[in-house]
Amino acid sequence: MSVVMEKKTTSSRNPFDVAQRQFDIAADALKLEDGIRLKLRVPRRALIVSVPFEKDDGSWQVVQGYRVQHDVSRGPAKGGIRFHPQVTLDEVKALAAWMTWKCAVVNLPYGGAKGGIEVDPKALSLHELERMTRRYTNEIAIIIGPEKDIP
Q: What residues are labeled active site? A: 114
* CA angle centred on 145, ends 141 and 146, rounded to 5°: 170
Report how far residue 122's alpha carbon sits from residue 115's, in angstroms, rounded to the nearest whole number: 18
> Considering only CA atoms, which of 92, 101, 76 is closest in space to residue 14?
92
**Alpha helices by DSSP H, 1-151:** 15-30, 34-41, 89-105, 126-140
Report how far residue 134's alpha carbon sits from residue 141's, in angstroms, rounded to the nearest whole number: 10
Residue partners of 25: CB distance under 8 A and separation at least 6: none
